[in-house]
Amino acid sequence: MSYDIDASGTVNLGGNLVRVPGTLSPEAQHYISQDLWGTDPAAEPVPMWTTREVTAPAFAALNQQARQMFPVNIDEVDIAGVRCHRVMPLSLAEENRSKVLLNFHGGGFVIGSGSLVEAIPIANITGIPVIAVDYRLAPEHPYPAAVDDALAVYRDALTSHSPEHIGVYGSSAGGFITGQLLARIAKAGLPMPACAGVFSAGGDLIDFGDTCQIFTLNGFFGHLLFPLDHEMSEVRAYLGGTDARDPLVSPVLSDMSGFPPVLLLSGTRDAVLSATTNFHRALRRAGVDADLMVFDAMPHTHWYALHLPETAEALRVMADFFTCKLAATAAG
């Protein structure tokens, strides 16, 4: 979708002007007023999985920037046959030695291998080790491969950690996988982790709701997401023929009453905001302790933009949630 956007970032929606909010930090005002991805509106959209050669260096650059801002130690490890990265704080406090967080990166289920931009800051801020799971990607490895990998790593974590000392989280595709993992844990009769973070993601792959028809992954810039049943949709590639109404695919259709506390984050220009809010409501209806924070005017996974004050705030909210929930369950 193409919008008329002037140099100040004001968007003209059929005569209705959407201006850059003055309540944002100057850095965020610049961030949302410019097409920082350099999208060519005249170019035909392509399947996301065909962009790996272009996106891989971008993820690597984000990893490097994150590590400069948030120093950590990183080792590549094999856990239960799954490639992972162990991200360790430089100093591991005694109270955190028994804790671990499992992170599932974003990338539309089809890109993002080796991305640590979600794991590095959280390990640094919380002081808790993070295992970043490099799950298999679609379309080569459709559902349930990614969730199988996530569950294998979780099972391994249970052999060395009490469940109340484990947290799981992810952004975008990784957030959807987090919800699917909880459904798989419930079906397997395994103990639930202490908490879960679902960021710029939802709990079903049936319908992303209203905002994906208005916003792109870059706010008002670029192309809208393909319809979920479109042949070039990353969701369709991920499902690989599996029915999206399977409760293990769309946990909103499952019994979520045993899910742990969940933190959800999004932004008002996030294509997946509707899916995030719908998941939050479903969790609350199921009696789950679920909190939602929405950032004004922020696009999809804005916390990848590490220079923003709004990112510092989002990371602090995530870190405080994990620190609080793991400490509370450990004490209990």
The domains of the chain are located at 4-331
DSSP β-bridge partners for residue 132: 85, 103
Helix (H) or strand (E) holding 87: strand 82-89
CA geometry: angle at 13 spanning 10 and 17, to 5°? 40
CA distance 320 to 317: 5
Fold of 4-331: Rossmann fold (3.40.50)
Q: List the structure tokens of 23.
A: 């309540």
13 falls in which pLDDT band (50, 70, 90)?
confident
Q: What single letter denotes the amino acid at residue 313?
A: E
The pTM score is 0.96
CA distance 218 to 222: 7
The pLDDT value given to residue 332:
46
7 falls in which pLDDT band (50, 70, 90)?
confident
The pLDDT value given to residue 328:
61
According to DSSP, residue 245 is labeled: T
Summarize the confidence of residues 92-120 as an average pLDDT.
96
The pLDDT value given to residue 8:
86
Asked if pLDDT for residue 142 goes beyond 90, the answer is yes
Summarize the confidence of residues 268-274 as an average pLDDT.
97
Alpha helices by DSSP H, the chain: 26-33, 52-69, 119-126, 145-160, 173-188, 234-239, 273-285, 309-331
Task: Yes or no: say if 137 and 109 are a contact pair by the CB < 8 Å rule.
Answer: yes
